[in-house]
Amino acid sequence: MRICVFGAGAVGSHFAVRLARAGHDVSCVMRGAHLEAVKAGGLTLRVGNDAFEARMNASSDPDDLGPQDAVICTLKATGLPSFAEGLQPLLAEDTAVVFAQNGVPWWYDIGLSPKHPPVPDLAFLDPGGRLRAAIPRQLIVGGVVFSSNEVIAPGVVANLSPERNRLLIGECDDRPSERVARLRAALCEAAIESPDVAQIRESIWSKLLTNMSMSVLCVLTGLTARAVRDDPDLAGIVPRLLDEANSIAQSCFPEVKRVTRTGPAPDHKPSILQDYELGRAMEIDVLVRAPAAFARAAGLSTPTLDMMAALATRQARSKGLYKG
C-alpha cells in the first residue's frame, strides 16, 4: 500500500518505520530537524536494545508525495488546521484518511448511528468548519492509538510500550469496507495490532476514560499515570474521577468496560503532561471541554471532573498553551 504518515512525530515515526519494513511504500510529512535527519539517513526505531532502520520519502510539502491509498494523520488535535490545508495533494478517489488523535474527534457526529444519544454542539473542535470543508466525509476513518513513544534525537524514535502498540481503525459510519480491511492487514503485518472494531466511537470512549480523568490529574501533579494511581494522598480522588468518567462514556456506549483504580496504569507521563512541560499547545478541547459537553447533554453531575478540568485549563492558560 501507499501510505503517508502526516505529522510524523513520535507515534507517527514509529508506525512509519514498521510499515516501511513490512514492505509498504511509506512517506512522511514532517518538519524541522527531524525531517532533515530522515532525508539524510532515514528513520531509526529503538525498541529496548534493538534498533530498526527504514528509508522513506519525507517532506514538509505534501505536494512532493502524491496520491495515497491511506493517509494516517498523527498530528495532535491542536495541529489539525495544517492538515486541512495540506491534505488535498495526497487524496485519491478512495483514500482512507485516518484520524489517529486523542479525545473526542472533530468528526464525531458524521455518519453517527441514529441510535446514539443526542450529541452536544462540538463546533469548537473544528473552528470555522475548515476540516469539514476540506475532507470529504466518505474518506474519514476513525483511529485510536495505544502506543507510547518519544523522539530522542532527530531521526530517532524510541518505543516505550513494546508490549502494547495498537492502532484501532473504523469507518466513521462503522460500515465494513475493503480499504479498512486492507489497512488493518497492513498494520498487523507491521507488528501494529489492529483487530476488527465494530464501533469505532466505543473504542474512542474506552481510551478517553483515562485521558479525561487520570491524564488531567497528571497535568496537575506532574506525576506519571502509575504514580497518580498509587499515591496514597490521591486515594480518595482517583475513584471519584473514574466513576464520573465512566458515567459519561457509558451514557454514549453502555457496553464500554469500566476503568477502575486497580486497573493497569503505565509508568510514563501522558501526552498532555508532556505538552505542558515542553511548552506545546495542549489538547484541552478534545480531552476536557468535549467530554464535559457530553456530560451536560446527558444530564450528568461530574463535580470532581469539572474541578480538575477547570484547574487544568487555568494552568494551561497561565502558560500560554491554551487560548480557547
| Strand order through the sheet with 166-171 | 57-59, 25-29, 2-6, 70-73, 96-99, 140-146, 166-171
Task: List residues bridging with 166 in a β-sheet.
Answer: 146, 193
Cβ-defined contacts of 153-156 (< 8 Å, 24+)? 153/37, 154/32, 154/33, 154/34, 154/36, 154/37, 155/34, 155/37, 155/38, 155/40, 155/41, 155/42, 155/43, 155/44, 156/37, 156/43, 156/44, 156/46
Q: Phi/psi at 215 (nearest 5 deg)?
A: -65, -40
| 207 noted as active-site residue | yes
Q: Is the CB of residue 17 less than 8 Å from the CB of residue 157? A: yes
Structure-block grid coordinates of residue 13 = 515515526
User: Cα–Cα distance between 9 and 156 in angstroms, integer?
Assistant: 10
208, 215, 210: which is closest to 261 by C-alpha?
Answer: 210
Catalytic residue among 207, 257, 319, 323: 207
Listed in order, strand segments (DSSP E) in the chain are 2-6, 25-29, 43-47, 50-54, 57-59, 70-73, 96-99, 140-146, 149-153, 156-159, 166-171
User: Cα–Cα distance between 229 and 199 in angstroms, integer?
Assistant: 29
309, 315, 289: which is closest to 216 by C-alpha?
Answer: 309
212, 202, 194: which is closest to 291 by C-alpha?
Answer: 212
For the annotated catalytic residues, the residue numbers are 207
